[in-house]
Amino acid sequence: MSTPIQMMPSQPSKKPAPKVQKEDAMWLQKEMINANYHELATAHERGKKVSATFVPGNLNELVMCFDFARSLPETNALQNGMRKKSGKMIMDAERDGQSEDVCTYVKADLGMMLGGEIGPTGEKLPTPDLLLLSYTGCFTFMKWFELVRQKYNCETVMLHTPYQGDGKISQSMRDYVVKQLKESVIPTLERVSGVKFDIDRLRQYMKESARAEDDLVKVLQSAKNRPSPIDGYFGAVYYIGPMFTAFRGTPEATQYYDVLRKEIDARVRDKKGPITPEGELTEEKYRLVVEGPPNWTSFRDFWKMFADEGAVVVASTYAKVGGVYDLGFRHDPDHPLESLAEYCLGCYTNMNFPQRIDMICRYIEEYEADGLLINSIKSCNSFSAGQLLMLREVEKRTGKPAAFIESDLVDPRYFSAANIKNRLESYFQMIKQKRSVAGAAVAAH
Amino acid sequence: MRCFIGIDLGSTTTKAVVIDAQQNVVGRGITNSRSNYDTAAQIAKQEALVNTRFHLFREALAKSGALNGSLEDFLAQLERDFRLEQFLVQLSDLETTSIRNTEGSRFGDASKAVASALTEIFKRLTTEAPELFAPGAKRKSDFFRDIAGSRYLAIGDEVAKQGGVRYDMLCNVFDRSIIEVENRVYGDAISANLLAALDRTFVAMPETASRGDAVREPIKSVLDTALEETYTVGTGYGRARLPFSKEHIRSEILCHGLGAHMMHPGTATVLDIGGQDTKAIQVDKHGIVESFQMNDRCAAGCGRYLGYIADEMNMGLHELGPLAMKSTKKIRINSTCTVFAGAELRDRLSLGDKREDIMAGLHRAIILRAMSILARSGGIRNEFTFTGGVAKNEAAVKALKDLVRENYGELTLNINPESIFTGALGGATFAYRAVVEEGKTVEAR
Amino acid sequence: MITTIGIDIGSGAVKTVLFRQDGDKVEWLAKRVERIRQRSPMELARWTYDEVLEEVKLRPEDIQYTATTGEGENVTFATGHFYSMTTHARGGVYLCPEAKAVVDVGALNGRAIFIDERGKVLASKMTSQCASGSGQFLENIARYLGVAIEEIGPLSQTSKDPEKPSSICAVLAETDVINMVSRGIATPDILKGIHLSMASRLAKLLKVTGIKTGTVLLTGGLALDTGLLAALQEELVNEKITGIQAVSHPDSICAGAIGAALWGAFRHEKLRQLEQRAAA
Amino acid sequence: MAEMVKDIVGRCEALFEDLHFDAVKQWKAAVPGRKAIGYMPVYVPREIVHAAGMLPVGIFGGGDQMEVIQGDAYYQSYICRIPRSTLELGLTGRLDCLDGMLFPSICDVIRNLSGMWQILFKDKYVRYVDVPQNYLDSVGGEFYIHEMQVLRDDLGKLAGKPVTDDALRASIAVYNENRRAVQDLYAYRAQKPWQAPTSEVYLVIRAGMVLPPEEHTKLVRDYIAAAELENRPKRDNARVVLTGSFCEQPPLGLIKSIEMSGCYVVDDDFGLVMRWLLDEVPATGDPLLELSKAFLHRSNQQASKYDEKKEDKGKLLVHSVKFYGAEGVIFAAPSFCDPALLERPMLQDVLAKQKIPYTAFKYAENTGQMAPIREQAGTFADSIKLWSAA
Ligand SMILES: Nc1ncnc2c1ncn2[C@@H]1O[C@H](COP(=O)(O)OP(=O)(O)O)[C@@H](O)[C@H]1O
Ligand SMILES: Nc1ncnc2c1ncn2[C@@H]1O[C@H](COP(=O)(O)OP(=O)(O)O)[C@@H](O)[C@H]1O
Ligand code: SF4
Ligand code: SF4
Ligand code: SF4
């Protein structure tokens, strides 16, 4: 799954870099992420086991109960994308026999392994002791870990999350997931780690999670203000990082979200716009809802195309890939396993099409957006197959214009700046033109 | 006179339109896009301004009544003579350039022979030039590159056979020199060329010569009228490369929408097939864009596809349509990949299919893709306007008509003979509005 | 003694060769290479066939096996057909006995063929449909830049600062090149950029076939392009596949036809043995 | 008089080419009130549909003869073809004869399509049929039985009367028969591939997508009998297993091209639904439990199904090569098919270890250019043939 990112692009830009502005919370986040990579890199020497798993529907709290260091291959891929290392990794994987047509996250990961497992921060990452294959919302995950297993012979345990085919989570689905947790996942975690499962420990982590989740939701919903103090897509990528990855359930994460929420509250009071890499956005001209993951290889250029035009993303579905908390879900310490099951089943890409469309329409309304922008990702069938219907339905139901651009997560060959800029410009000019006509019509009366 | 100019810098052709203070189209110009965008834009504009002068001649001469009855013939002759003059000027430039390009060590011992072959070729070219511009003469295209090119190669082949020079060398000199020549702007030559043309016309139409002064007078006065470039708006794929400020640039989507509306005020849906992209645009009754869709990153099925086919068949672009119209059998072509178009063509030919049938199949395949993009943008509404260069192709138009009828029933389908200028017309209209409705003045470059 | 003809009908050119084999002695007696250029490939096949016969003063009945390859499945006067990779492999070994792999770069497709010393195909890989790395693309660009085919290689090798086209699609790559020209990028740098991007595809193909060391022979029309050869060598170094040596041969363009002729002889011999066995 | 191959294949071809599903309409018209339910590849428990008195209809895309306009409007160029042509079939009214559609759990594309179908065809029954990736009876099995039970209840409602256990058991028996016939057909082809070329076998299989199973079983048996009577030349071809085409089907021309270029296909994964369950499902006992057990423990192996252990990867493919006496494997996968293309390197790895030669290419259901395919398959066949003795 197209995963949240955890760090400001540390790309040295060619010009003497204009001072990159960051919120305090962003600095904090960066430290957390780097520390985690270091921990991961040294896990084996410190006698810790490593478990790899995917972002959507990840069982971080549970895995922590067994003292595993957590590695998230999607995050590695996107970090490598931001650091412009993914292109070569993908080519390496293709040379190793992978097809050009398939998801580039997988290829970036496999390519990294072929290149000696050197992680985004330059430290060598350990081979996982366990692949926790929870394939929420995407079939490619399954192949991904099968491929890793084929190479490294890692122990693998499957957690199958059924799809919300008819738009709801049934009891049978919940039972199925809970049963898998009890009968295969937890016993395997125990066996591999040598640590006995302690449900109270799990409850404790989940308590932390729920608190942080409250704060995250407040941050994301601050975009309902005018001007919006945050960018709910590019900026949100930094906000969701800890929550969606190895930190959910830790006190550090809770603290991070506390700091973050306070910062954002202050921005709301001061009526400030979001901070972009080019500085604070002073004039909010367009408010958009975005569907689909961002492109990582040109993340800053991409963001700049929006910032330059005064466009702010007020809500995005991508900020929900690791949990749709704003619709009410919280980890529940009183029903730990059931709540984990609920969490897995409720992830954004595990929702069916009518649900996804409803959610977007709701965002457009609640966040008073001018329209919907879809960034369609070549890699990701889970997100992309059907987005054009989404576009049409949303236009029909909200009366707001929608636009469509295409790129890829981490394959630089698929990011055509001129092409995307052309479409974005046309889209913004169209909204502006429509507005001025509407304005003129009002004035004429 | 105040002129509002729109320039559409496309991937294959560059178009310019001039409108006057009453929003009448007074001039159109077109040239092939080339490696130097600035030149392409300048030449297109210059052509449009020349065309404007002809428009003014017509008005002035009609008013003076000097050519009662033979006005149109006279102007047609004058235009042909003017083109011939222009052609001769460029031809002599090409000759000088070519000779220069043979010097040095490129051809070693052969360079003398090449030079004398060149002299012979250009002698013949110059002699036959008037025929190329005779009334009713068929030309492969209207661009110097194409006219001079096809004749040069044909004559070059003969000369090579007779003179013992290698044909390859002659081709090589041409390829090299034509680029230099076509990147020169012959700004000052226009008045001179016109006056020279006028003399030719009097020779060609002796009956008008007797009224020489009465004719010359209004023409002179038109030539003396300054054409003030009040405001220019640039659009098209290459617009970002135009040396204009942002205020002077509009997205081609808006320009095509507005241009189509100006040509056919009832337009609701616009299809534009250009060299590298296909756009479907929905506009409201004021020509304001409501939504749009473009082909995705794959350029399959766009105008350039026809270009490849024409190259493969060694035909002119405008000959493809008529050939396809001769088809009697339906052949289904599934791939519109531009690059492999040639291969598919050969595949079919070797299977024994007839050229015209394959051509018809190819045209239908292109239009099928366009139909999908139209469906993506919300379908076809009445009235439907087809713009862009491919609208000049009768087989494409026929396929479109068929498919529209099959899928949407009877609709009004507008195809303007000047459809290729739609984007530029939209640009010119934006220029007009900027000044007249928004009170803008030209910004310093 | 067996006399055979091999005809390779490509999308850019028709290549025809005539061979005579006597025990271990293999003699190459005649060859014809004709660019197609709007002509009918089938007629050219017949014509070149007649031409090579004429050159060695033989008649059709003196030929034991006429083998086609490339797009020649439907040639009526042929005895049999072999597929391109089979023939390029065999032709490659003939031209360069130490070759461990053959890379065939023709007008439309690229193929990497990993072979053993007898010309047996061990593994192979073709470029996929979406290919801006085709000979035809290079030819188009060269025309746009005003460069003759033979000049491409030498020019490319003078490049100091090559600029790779970013696109994967030939149509879009064409625009890229147009943009480069307008940005003032020098012709050699553009050509070298294209060469490098083609070479990186080929390197990728090679890697997929699994070859790690040894000599790789370029065959097909573009083998004559010294710029491509140099670029391939560079890419291989870049990719740290340093054990591979890429070479070309003046007759590389005929590799397919040669392979066809030689396989024809092999097959003829085999068929004869089968007949004898059947008779016995 | 026994039917001739020509007639049987002709009938199958007509059924295959009919994108208006007249056969289904006729079946429905024969008895008023009859209903038909469509399903996409790879596998759905058709027994349940059959037991509800309905006709299960396999919707396997639009092939290469259909012009796709609407369908393309909904999909980007980097998505495979089958969902487009399936949508086109639906949007142009060609599937109006179906009373519902089942979307099996095979990949994200089909999964998403199930939701799109709900939006676009609001008045039709639409169901996403999930299957377990956990193979314990008490875990995955229970979930699956529940999934099947929902389907059974839904169809019962649609039919106006519940689907009984007896009806289910009877349907299981019918499909056991059909499966046996199809297995015999595959065995026959592997034995005499020149008598039963794959271009024909494929059509016979495809006929089973629109015919009632009882009729299809007879058709398959008739074909085997008729093929045996033919006298067809045996060619010097290489024997191959074709894999990767479990979802979007290749055009018929492609299958013919592979054979023309010198290959005999002795096993394949077209129309896998017919051979998904590997052997007899007991027609006694609790029917859903038996179906579930068959799925969990005795079903085919394919990219959308999880392999629990590394050692399991490619087991069935290798078995098929040995069992059918193949000399190599052709990987033929649809372009942009993530499951097939991600599975491929793993399978190739397994084959390489077993020293089984293979080649690979991609196609789309409307691929028109066969030259590259002939070349790859031909080279492959050449290399097997020229060197087999050496
Ligand atoms: N006279 C003609 N007859 C037929 N087709 C033409 C003609 N002139 C141009 N075209 C087609 O129009 C395309 C260029 O269209 P245009 O709208 O100018 O594109 P762009 O704006 O991208 O340059 C060419 O690729 C060609 O296919
Ligand atoms: N001297 C040369 N330098 C570079 N390229 C060449 C040369 N001669 C021929 N070519 C290229 O070779 C291609 C034809 O190669 P060939 O192997 O015959 O292809 P095919 O088998 O597909 O016809 C042409 O497209 C042309 O661009
Ligand atoms: S297909 Fe999408 S969700 Fe699945 S692994 Fe790739 S990017 Fe993630
Ligand atoms: S090469 Fe063909 S298929 Fe590929 S992107 Fe270009 S036009 Fe599309
Ligand atoms: S062809 Fe592959 S990707 Fe496409 S729907 Fe079928 S399984 Fe999914």
Count CA atoms closer than 13 A to A408's CA, side-chain side. 25
Domain boundaries, chain A: 19-444
Of D261, D379, D381, the CB nearest to C124: D379
Give, in order, the Cα–Cα distances in Å from C260 to each of C87, C116, C265: 5, 17, 9
pLDDT score, position C133 = 55
Judgement on whether residues B246 and B386 belong to the same structural domain of the protein: no
pLDDT score, position A268 = 96
Of C146, C178, C181, the CB nearest to B175: C146
pLDDT score, position A11 = 39
B313 φ/ψ angles, rounded to the nearest 5 degrees:
-90, 0
pLDDT score, position A359 = 97
Fold match between domain C2-89+254-279 and domain C97-248: yes
Q: Is residue B425 in some structural domain?
A: no
Q: How far is residue D54 CA from its own chain's centroid?
A: 19
Provide the pLDDT confidence category of residue B35 given band limits of 50, 70 and 90.
low
Rounded average pLDDT over A6-35:
60
Q: Is residue B276 in some structural domain?
A: yes
Q: How far is residue C129 CA from its own chain's centroid?
A: 18
**Tokens read off for A380:** 């990701």
Provide the pLDDT confidence category of residue B198 given band limits of 50, 70 and 90.
confident
Of A119-133, B36-50, D253-267, minimum mean pLDDT range: B36-50
Chain D interface includes B296 (CB < 8 A): yes
Residue among A402, A317, A384, A396 at smallest CA distance from A355? A317
On whether the C97-248 domain is CATH 3.90.70.10, my answer is no
Judgement on whether residues B346 and B275 belong to the same structural domain of the protein: yes
pLDDT score, position C197 = 84
The 10s digit of each residue's pLDDT in B6-17 is 999 887 889 999
d(CA D373, CA B69): 67
Residue B444 has pLDDT above 50, yes or no: no
Mutation target to probe the A interface, by most A beta carbons within 10 A, among B244, B248, B254 is B254
Q: Which domain holds residue B27?
A: 1-62+211-264
Write out chain A residues lying below 8 Å of C130, CB-based: 100
Residue B193 has pLDDT above 70, yes or no: yes
pLDDT score, position A3 = 40
Of A257-266, C100-109, D307-316, minimum mean pLDDT range: C100-109
Determine which helix (DSSP H) or strand (DSSP E) holds D172, and give its type and residue range: helix D165-191
pLDDT score, position A371 = 96
pLDDT score, position D374 = 86
Distance from residue C173's CA to the centre of ligand 1 (Å): 19
Judgement on whether residues B410 and B378 belong to the same structural domain of the protein: yes
Residue among C8, C1, C6 at smallest CA distance from C221? C8
Q: Is residue B82 in some structural domain?
A: no
Mutation target to probe the B interface, by most B beta carbons within 10 A, among A100, A406, A433 is A433
Higher pLDDT, D310 or B237: D310
* Cα angle: C71, vertex C72, C77; to 5 degrees: 170
Say if residues B299 and B338 touch (Cβ distance below 8 Å): yes
Judgement on whether residues B219 and B270 belong to the same structural domain of the protein: no
Count CA atoms closer than 13 A to C226's CA, side-chain side. 9
Overall domain count for chain B: 2
pLDDT score, position A44 = 94
d(CA B253, CA B423): 8
Judgement on whether residues B270 and B240 belong to the same structural domain of the protein: no
Q: Is residue B432 in some structural domain?
A: no
Residue A5 has pLDDT above 50, yes or no: no
**Ligand 4 atom at minimal distance to the Cα of residue C171:** 6
The 10s digit of each residue's pLDDT in B122-165 is 999 999 988 888 887 776 677 888 888 888 888 887 887 677 77
Judgement on whether residues B271 and B409 belong to the same structural domain of the protein: yes
pLDDT score, position A20 = 54
CATH class as words, domain C2-89+254-279: alpha beta
Residue D72 has pLDDT above 70, yes or no: yes
Say if residues A2 and A321 touch (Cβ distance below 8 Å): yes
pLDDT score, position B442 = 65
Q: What residue in B sits closest to A420 (Cα-Cα)?
A: B297
Judgement on whether residues B252 and B283 belong to the same structural domain of the protein: no
Chain C interface includes D366 (CB < 8 A): no
Rounded average pLDDT over B199-222:
83
Q: Is residue B392 in some structural domain?
A: yes
d(CA C132, CA C195): 11
Distance from residue B292's CA to the centre of ligand 4 (Å): 22
d(CA A191, CA A49): 11
For residue A100, the distance in angstroms to the closest alpha carbon of chain C comes to: 9
Rounded average pLDDT over A267-290:
93
Of B64-73, B322-331, C50-59, minimum mean pLDDT range: B64-73
pLDDT score, position A187 = 97
The 10s digit of each residue's pLDDT in B386-434 is 998 899 899 999 999 999 999 999 999 999 989 999 999 999 999 999 8
Cis peptide before A213 (omega within 30 of 0): no
Contacts of B340 (CB under 8 A, 6+ apart): C108, C129, D369
Query: What CATH number has the domain bearing residue B280?
Result: 3.30.420.40
Of A13-27, B268-282, D211-225, minimum mean pLDDT range: A13-27
Query: Can you tell me the ipTM of this complex?
Result: 0.84
Domain boundaries, chain C: 2-89+254-279, 97-248
A1 lines ligand 3 (CB under 6 A): yes
Higher pLDDT, D249 or B157: D249
Helix (H, G, I), strand (E, B) or coil at B157: helix
The 10s digit of each residue's pLDDT in D35-51 is 999 999 999 999 999 99
Of A24-38, A406-420, B174-188, C221-235, minimum mean pLDDT range: B174-188
Say if residues B137 and B175 touch (Cβ distance below 8 Å): no
pLDDT score, position C112 = 86
Judgement on whether residues B288 and B348 belong to the same structural domain of the protein: yes
d(CA A313, CA A236): 9
Distance from residue C221's CA to the centre of ligand 2 (Å): 3
Q: How many residues does chain D have?
A: 390
**Residue whose CA is at the smallest distance from ligand 5 atom 8:** D107
Q: Is residue B300 in some structural domain?
A: yes
Provide the pLDDT confidence category of residue B105 given band limits of 50, 70 and 90.
low
Residue B205 has pLDDT above 80, yes or no: yes
Residue B445 has pLDDT above 60, yes or no: no
Sign of CA dihedral A309, A315, A320, A321: negative
d(CA C71, CA A64): 62
Determine which helix (DSSP H) or strand (DSSP E) holds B17, and give its type and residue range: strand B13-19
Of A326-335, C236-245, D49-58, minimum mean pLDDT range: C236-245
Say if residues B245 and B445 touch (Cβ distance below 8 Å): yes
pLDDT score, position A17 = 43
Judgement on whether residues B259 and B271 belong to the same structural domain of the protein: no
Residue among C250, C256, C248 at smallest CA distance from C16? C256
Judgement on whether residues B254 and B270 belong to the same structural domain of the protein: no
**Residue whose CA is at the smallest distance from ligand 2 atom 19:** C106
The 10s digit of each residue's pLDDT in A244-275 is 888 999 999 999 999 999 999 999 999 999 99
The 10s digit of each residue's pLDDT in A165-209 is 999 999 999 999 999 999 999 999 999 999 999 999 999 999 999
Judgement on whether residues B384 and B293 belong to the same structural domain of the protein: yes
Residue among B423, B290, B269 at smallest CA distance from A435? B290
Percentage above 90 pLDDT, chain C? 33
d(CA B142, CA B32): 9
For residue D219, the distance in angstroms to the closest alpha carbon of chain A comes to: 36
The 10s digit of each residue's pLDDT in A45-54 is 999 999 999 9
pLDDT score, position A7 = 39
Strand pairing partners for B6? Answer: B17, B233
pLDDT score, position C109 = 73
Provide the pLDDT confidence category of residue C275 given band limits of 50, 70 and 90.
confident
Which residue is associated with the tokens 């366990």? A130
Mean predicted lDDT score pLDDT of chain A: 90
**Residue whose CA is at the smallest distance from ligand 3 atom 3:** A1
Mutation target to probe the C interface, by most C beta carbons within 10 A, among A95, A102, A406, A415 is A95
Residue among A118, A124, A72 at smallest CA distance from A92? A118
Ligand 4: residue of C127, C129, C137, C171 to mutate (most ligand atoms within 8 A of CB) is C171
Residue among C87, C81, C91, C72 at smallest CA distance from C26? C91
Rounded average pLDDT over A123-133:
94
Angle between helices D252-260 and D198-207 (to 10 degrees): 160
pLDDT score, position C168 = 62
State the burial class of residue B124 (Cβ atoms within 10 Å of its Cβ: 0-12, 13-18, 19+).
middle
Query: What CATH number has the domain bearing residue B10?
Result: 3.30.420
d(CA B125, CA B120): 9
Percentage above 70 pLDDT, chain C? 92
A161 lines ligand 3 (CB under 6 A): no
Query: Would you say the pTM of this structure is higher than 0.90?
Result: no
The 10s digit of each residue's pLDDT in D333-381 is 999 999 999 999 999 999 999 999 999 999 999 887 787 888 889 989 8
**Residue whose CA is at the smallest distance from ligand 4 atom 4:** C130
Rounded average pLDDT over D104-115:
96
